[in-house]
Amino acid sequence: MFDSIFSEILQTALSLYFGQEGHYKSLREVPLDGKELSALTGQDPDWEEIIVLLLALMPHLNPQTLDLFFILNKNLDRPYTEF
């Protein structure tokens, strides 16, 4: 569950960054369900906290989700510095 939510966020972020059409016009439009994270942490995380927790969990739950950060900048033939 966590990896599919994070994948959607990551795809949306990259689409917005590169100016491509996507399902959402803002990252805040991506539906997040923090209930499972609330159960894990005992807290009611806000939007930013959910994103940070998901990013922290990804290397352990589904590391291949982060492979999108290896995109090469074709103009410079190296990875994007921003990532």
Q: Is there a contact between 68 and 75 (Cβ–Cβ < 8 Å)?
A: no
Whole-structure pTM value: 0.73
User: Residue 83: pLDDT band by 50, 70, 90 thresholds?
Assistant: low
pLDDT tens across 44-60, in order?
888 898 899 889 989 99
| In the predicted structure, residue 29 carries a pLDDT above the cut 80 | yes
Q: What is the pLDDT of residue 82?
A: 61
Q: Hey, what long-range contacts does 12-20 have (CB within 8 A, 24 or more apart)?
A: 14/68, 14/71, 17/82
For residue 79, the SS3 value is strand
